[in-house]
Amino acid sequence: MSAIRVADLQVSYPSPLLDGTRIHALRGIDLEVARGEFVALMGPGGAGKSTVCLALNGAIPHAVDCESTGTVTVAGQETRTTPFAQLARQVGLVFEDAEAQLFNATVADEIAFGLESMTFPVDQIERRIDAALEQVVLSGFRDRSPRTLSGGEARRLALASVLAMQPRVLVLDEPTAGLDARGRYEVLTAIERLQEEHGTEMTVVMATQDAEAVARFADRIAVLRDGKVSLTGTPEEVFRQVETLEAWGLAVPQLARLAHHLGLPPICTPQHAAKHWADLIAPPPSATLPTIPSLAPTTGTIIEIRDLRYEYPASDQPALHGVTLDIARGEWLGIVGINGSGKTTLLKHLNGLLHPTSGTVRVHGEDTRDQQVGQLARLISYLPQNPDQSIFCASVGEEVAYGPRQLGLRGQTLAERVAESLDLLGLTPLAEHPPAVLGYGQRRCVALASVLSMNAPVLALDEPSVGLDRGTVTRLMDVISTRHRQGTTVVMITHDLDLIARYAQRAIILSEGRICAQGRPHDLLADVSLIREVGLEPLPVTVLGHALGWPLPLPVSIAAWEAT
C-alpha cells in the first residue's frame, strides 16, 4: 500500500530577477513510496530535492510562491485539495535550516507548539512532549532554550517537534548537513530508533547529500537530476553506478567505490563489508600507501602561535588554551575536531578577528594585536562557512571586486584580478547576475572567488564543503589546490575527514580548546581509537581495516588500491 504517490509533478518558481521568466524546479516527477518504506532523495544542488520535500508536506502549493501541476497524495490525502494545517498532522517536515525552524523560548514550548495548534488538552501535550524528547534522547533538555543547543541537538529538537504530532510520513531535508561527527551520529541514531520503534507505521523520505547515511538507512534511493527522477533502486543497485553518479556530481560511499574498483559485491557499510568481504579483500600493500598528499614544497614559517589562550567574555571555560603551532609557508594544514573544540576560534585569531587573552599570534612576523582586521586582510583571506554573511553587491563581478578594491586596487589591475577569479570558479557567464539570487552552490563559489581575488598569501577556510554536492566540492577543492600549488598557504577547517586525507599535508586535532594530536593526515586518521576518542567518526575503509584486523597503518582512502 502506498503512503506517498507523486504523479507528473511539475513545479516552477518565478525568477528572482523579476524578469517574468520562470525557474523549472521539477519537470514531471513520478514517485511511489510504500507504507513504512525509507526512501532517500539524492541529487546535486538545484536538482529539486527540497521542492519535493515542500510538495510532500503541502507547502507546495499552499504556502510557497510557485506554480505546480500534477498530483501528490500523502497518507491518502491529495495535497492540493487538503488544507495545509490538516496535512501538517499527517506529514512532518524537518527543514534543512533547523535553527530557523525553532522559534520558541524553551524546548518544551517548541514541541508543544504543533500540539497546541491541534488543540490537544494540556495533560496530553505534556505526555507527548516527554515521549518525543525520549525518542530523540533529549529528555533532560525540557527547559533549555533552543538557541543554546548544539547543531545536532537542534536538529533532534526539530525532529521531536514534528514527531510529537505523530505524523504518518516524516520528511527530512538534509538532516545531517553541516553537523560534526557527533551531531551526525546523534541525528542518525535518533532516526534509527524511530525506524525500530515505528516499523511500518512511519514512512520516511530523506533528502540528502550524505551517501554514507543513505547507505546505512535507506530501503530505496531516488536520484533527482534537473527536476526529474533519473535513477531509482536499492542502495546496492544505485551505488553500483559509481561513474554515473560521480559524473552527476554525487557522493558515493567510500566502500561502494572500493567495491566497484575491486569488483567486489556492492556493499556500502563497513559492518556488512567486514562480514561479507573478509575472504575477498586484502589490505593494500603498504608500499603503495601514500606518504603525504604532497602538493607544494614548504619554506619557512608564515604563522607562529605561541601559548595561545582565549576566553570568550562571560565564559568561565577557555575556548583555547596552550595552543602552540607553526604553520609553514605554502603548507596545507587541516584542522579537525567536534563542534565547540575551538576550530573557528583558532581560525579567527589568524586574521585578527579575535585577539589572544594571553599568548601571541604572529603572521609574517607581525603580532596580530598591532594590526586591524582590514589590514590583515592583505595577508589572510578568510572564507566563512556561510556565503550569505558576505554577499551584498548587485552583481557577481562587483562582489568579487569588493575585497581587492578595499585593499586599494583600481583600474586594469583590479579588472584582471576579478576576471581571473571569476574564470577560476566558472562564474564569468554570471558576472552581471545578482549573487544573492543564485543557488547555494553558486553562492559558495562567489564567496570563494571573492576571497581568492584578494590574492592573500594565506587562505583560511571554514568548512568549505558543507552543504555542497560532491561535484561542487571537487570543483572548489580543485581551485584551492591550484592556488596552493602556486604557493598559497591553506588552513582548512572541515568535518569531512575524506577531504583532509585527500588534500591536507598536515592535520591537527583540536579537543576542548587544545591541540590533542598533530601529524600527517594518514597517520592521524588511521588511528581509530584516537579519532573515536575525540568524538570523530573514522572513515569507512579504516573501520573496515580495523574490523578485519589488518596490520597498521590502516588505510584512510582507497587511493592505495587505485594505485595498484
Partner 1 sequence: MSEWLYVPGSGLFHRLDPRPKMVFAAFSTVYLALESEPSVLLVALGILQALSLSCRATRSRVLPLWRALSPLLLILLVFGSLCWRPGDALLAIGPLGITASSFWYTIGMAARIIGISLAISLLLWTTEPGDAVAGLTRLGIPFAVGFPVIMVLQHVVTFHRQFQRILEAQQSRGLTFSRWNPYQVARAYIPVLVPLLITALRSVDTLALALQSRGFEPGKPRTSRRVLRMRTMDWAFMAVCTGTIAALAWF
Residues that bind partner 1 (CB under 8 A): 54, 57, 59, 62-64, 84-85, 88-89, 92-93, 95, 97, 100-101, 103-106, 108-109, 112-122, 125-126, 129, 147, 161-162, 165, 348, 351, 353, 372-375, 377-378, 380-382, 384, 386, 388-392, 402-403, 406-407, 436, 450-451, 454
CB of 144 to partner 1, least distance (A): 11
Q: Which is nearer to partner 1, 151 or 521 (CB)?
A: 151
Q: How far is the CB of 247 from partner 1 (least distance, A)?
A: 32
Choose among 562, 550, 561, 564: nearest CA to 270. 550
How far, in Å, CA of 419 to CA of 557, rounded?
Answer: 36
CB atoms within 10 A of CB 287: 8
Which run of H or E residues covers position 189? helix 181-198
Q: How far is the CB of 428 from partner 1 (least distance, A)?
A: 21
Question: Which of 287/314 has CB closer to partner 1?
Answer: 314
Nearer to partner 1, 103 or 317 (CB): 103
Helix (H, G, I), strand (E, B) or coil at 168: coil
Integer Cα distance of 338 and 462 in angstroms: 13
Q: Return the number of the residue (322 or 439) whose C-beta is nearest partner 1.
A: 439
- What minimum distance in Å lies between the beta carbon of 350 and partner 1? 10
Instruction: Please provide the DSSP assignment of 393-425 as one string.
Output: SSSHHHHHHHHHHHTT--HHHHHHHHHHHHHHT
Dihedral of alpha carbons 518, 522, 525, 529, sign: negative
* Residue 425 near residue 445, CB atoms below 8 Å: yes
Shortest distance in whole angstroms from residue 439 CB to partner 1: 13
Between residues 12 and 269, which has the closer beta carbon with respect to partner 1?
Answer: 12
Q: How far is the CB of 434 from partner 1 (least distance, A)?
A: 10
Our CB check for partner 1 shows the closer of 121 and 300 to be 121
CB of 175 to partner 1, least distance (A): 15
Rounded CA-CA distance 97/495 in Å is 18
Q: How far is CA 214 from the centre of its chain?
A: 14
The per-residue b/e assignment along 362-375, b for 16 or more CB within 10 angstroms, e otherwise, is bbbeeebeebeeee
Query: Position of cell 505523530?
Result: 166
**Nearer to partner 1 (CB atom), residue 291 or residue 389:** 389
Beta strand pairing status for 38-42 and 514-519? Answer: unpaired
Return d(Cα 229, Cα 223) in angstroms, integer.
6
Residue 376 to residue 423: CA distance in whole angstroms: 26
Choice between 45 and 384, CB closer to partner 1: 384
* Cβ-based nearer residue to partner 1, 117 or 299: 117
- Nearest-approach distance from CB 388 to partner 1, in angstroms: 6
Least distance in angstroms from the C-beta of 59 to partner 1? 6
Q: What is the CA radius of gyration of the chain?
A: 24
Candidates 314, 321, 350; CA nearest to 511 is 321
